[in-house]
């Protein structure tokens, strides 16, 4: 155990990290993204050992505060915090004083008073994590807020691509589905473009943004299209987004059948992609809607790798935010 603590401490780096919070990827520099990737590589090494824990954050407290359902984000932050030796407290809105009407700001201040060093917040309202971060000295990690951002998902997606391809500069990444309502697509766009990838956002016109704003990237690095069969040509990564049935109920797509015909990721469509193309999905999946079951579980799929990598990436982020406070 002691050996692994010393090894990981030697390889980890806080060099250049100055952020209190992680609210989205659009505020990260290329160097900061690379620092997260470098630390995540070390953490993946820790996770591959027989003793899969270190004591880097022993004595620190991490609170997960979830106002919306989650399996992957919540569980992997809990595993990540414990793998770093921190105390992890899990709170869901339904089982807390939020149910008695306590505001987000009061809840966050209460958790800081209890001793939280970092709060991982999942909320149905866009901007909730930014609001929380303004009212606490604890580090706030956005675990997904409304349709705004999901930075840790984007960073684990990037980590998964880099593990397979190395440098992703010049790679063609197609993100297909309900881009308009997707916090995952938004956060992925910023980090992928920052590292030089070519991003294509694809879906029915009613589920695509009219403009791509807010980012700071070269002209031509992001394309928006409704033609999936053209977009998938030569793609290095095809990332399917979850199609929520309520989109049909709200009249944003004519029917699920038409959506499937135009945008489902199928074996046949993948024949047009690059021979070593990866299939990704942030989960949870609607198999048979946005992705065919044989593709979801096929040889090109790295969907389970994404989930596994989520632990190492979240360990790296917790390390930077929490150890960074005491350095």
Binding segment toward ligand CP, per CB under 6 A, in 32-40, 80-88, 277-285, 286-294: 277-285
Q: Does 282 bind ligand CP (CB under 6 A)?
A: yes
In the complex with ligand CP, the residue whose CB is nearer, 139 or 143, is 143
Please pick, from the candidates 25, 136, 153, 182, the single residue that binds ligand CP as defined by CB under 6 A.
153
Q: Are 266 and 238 in contact (CB under 8 A)?
A: no
- Residue closest to 84 by CA, chosen among 116, 52, 50: 52
* Token pair 């005491």 in the structure block, residue: 326
Q: Does 324 bind ligand CP (CB under 6 A)?
A: no
In the complex with ligand CP, the residue whose CB is nearer, 7 or 79, is 79
In the complex with ligand CP, the residue whose CB is nearer, 171 or 314, is 314
Binding segment toward ligand CP, per CB under 6 A, in 49-57, 66-74, 210-218, 297-305: 66-74
Binding segment toward ligand CP, per CB under 6 A, in 48-56, 67-75, 228-236, 254-262: 67-75
Exposure of 35 by Cβ count < 10 A (0-12 exposed, 13-18 middle, 19+ buried)?
Answer: buried
In the complex with ligand CP, the residue whose CB is nearer, 284 or 293, is 284
Q: Does 177 bind ligand CP (CB under 6 A)?
A: no
Q: Does 73 bind ligand CP (CB under 6 A)?
A: yes
Task: Please give the C-alpha separations between residue 181 and each of 65, 98, 150, 274, in angstroms, as whole numbers.
Answer: 22, 26, 12, 28
How far apart, in whole angstroms, are the C-alpha atoms of residue 320 and residue 289?
38
* Token pair 């990827």 in the structure block, residue: 25
Q: Are 79 and 312 in contact (CB under 8 A)?
A: no
Which residues neighbour 269 within 8 Å (Cβ) at sequence distance 6 or greater?
Answer: 228, 229, 232
Here's the x/- map for ligand CP, 239-268, by CB under 6 A: it reads as ------------------------------
Residue 31 main-chain phi, psi, to 5 deg: -65, -40
Q: Does 72 bind ligand CP (CB under 6 A)?
A: yes
**List of E strands, 67-157:** 87-92, 118-123, 139-145
Least Å from the CB of residue 122 to ligand CP: 7
Site residues (vs ligand CP, CB under 6 A): 70-73, 144, 153, 282-284
């Amino acid at each position: 155990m002691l050996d692994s603590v010393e090894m990981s401490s030697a390889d980890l780096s806080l060099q250049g990290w100055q952020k209190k919070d992680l609210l989205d990827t659009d505020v990260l520099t290329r160097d900061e993204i690379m620092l997260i990737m470098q630390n995540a590589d070390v953490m993946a090494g820790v996770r591959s050992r027989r003793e899969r824990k270190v004591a880097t954050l022993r004595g620190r407290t991490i609170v997960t505060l979830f106002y919306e359902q989650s399996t992957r984000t919540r569980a992997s932050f809990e595993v990540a915090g414990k793998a770093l030796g921190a105390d992890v407290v899990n709170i869901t809105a339904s089982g807390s004083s939020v149910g008695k009407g306590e505001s987000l700001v009061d809840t966050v201040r209460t958790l800081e008073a209890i001793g939280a060093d970092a709060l991982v917040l999942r909320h149905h309202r866009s901007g909730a994590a930014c609001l929380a971060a303004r009212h606490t000295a604890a580090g706030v990690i956005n675990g997904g807020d409304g349709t705004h951002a999901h930075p840790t998902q984007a960073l684990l997606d990037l980590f998964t691509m880099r593990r397979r391809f190395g440098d992703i500069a010049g790679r063609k990444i197609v993100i297909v589905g309900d881009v308009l309502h997707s916090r995952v697509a938004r956060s992925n766009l910023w980090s992928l473009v920052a590292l030089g990838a070519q991003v294509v956002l694809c879906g029915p016109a009613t589920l695509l943004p009219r403009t791509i704003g807010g980012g700071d990237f070269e002209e031509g690095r992001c394309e928006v299209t409704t033609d999936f069969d053209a977009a998938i040509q030569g793609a290095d990564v095809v990332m399917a987004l979850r199609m929520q049935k309520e989109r049909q109920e709200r009249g944003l797509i004519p029917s699920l059948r038409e959506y499937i015909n135009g945008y489902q990721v199928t074996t046949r469509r993948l024949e047009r992609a690059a021979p070593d193309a990866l299939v990704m999905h942030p989960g949870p999946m609607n198999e048979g809607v946005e992705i065919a079951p044989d593709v979801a579980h096929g040889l090109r799929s790295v969907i389970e790798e994404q989930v596994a990598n989520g632990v190492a990436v979240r360990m790296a982020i917790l390390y930077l935010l929490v150890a960074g406070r005491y350095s």
